[in-house]
Structure 1
């Protein structure tokens, strides 16, 4: 998502000069697993976990128009209600997950903010990304 559409969230990857210690994301492997803390950054590759998280927020799988290459989706996104989805192209879950798996992505996300409200923070990590 571009910066106009993404809800404001803390950066879980502080840069140089940030005094907060970086805590590794907690791995979640099934919908039955719960985070250690509600506001903790989590990471998963589990399709059921990702789909449940998105659907709880009314988000639908999407891509940016004209980003497909040889029939494969370009940019994987979620279309959240009220965030200008007219610029996104809806896609089926199966196609979204096919691309997610082909790229060996991980889904970095948060269930709740520190104030207890639901968080829409999410980010796709690729194997070449470090976190």
Structure 2
């Protein structure tokens, strides 16, 4: 699914390849999970400025991704035509609208 230069997917391979191509790793925001749950998910980039991120495994990332019924909204290219890192995790139900 695509809109306004962005694409939405739930495909794990597509998400992982997109992130790794840009040096991104699966992560969660520290102190948002309970017990062993990872909490809020993010993609952590090497020069990212979010100190509150802690890397997790792709397995943990996608387990929570499915549990929370998320979709991945992303861009391949930015407005200037260069590689984009824009991404957002959204509710799958809202992605269909």
TM-score strictly above 0.5: yes
The structure having more radius of gyration, on CA atoms, is 1
Gaps of 5+ in 2: none
More strand by share: 2
- When the two structures are superposed, what TM-score results if normalisation uses the length of structure 2? 0.86
Correspondence list, 1:17-56, <5 A: 25-26=1-2, 40-56=5-21
Which residue of 1 is the match for residue 75 of structure 2?
110
The Cα RMSD (Å) is 2.0
- Segments ≥4 residues shifted beyond 3 Å: 127-131
Gaps of 5+ in 1: 1-24, 28-38
Matches of 2:93 and 2:14, distance apart in 1? 23
More helix by share: 2
> What displacement does 1:81 show?
1.4
Report SS of the residue matched to 1:72.
coil
Correspondence list, 1:76-115, <5 A: 76-115=41-80
Report SS of the residue matched to 1:107.
strand
Matches of 1:89 and 1:111, distance apart in 2? 25
- When the two structures are superposed, what TM-score results if normalisation uses the length of structure 1? 0.66
**How many residues matched?**
96
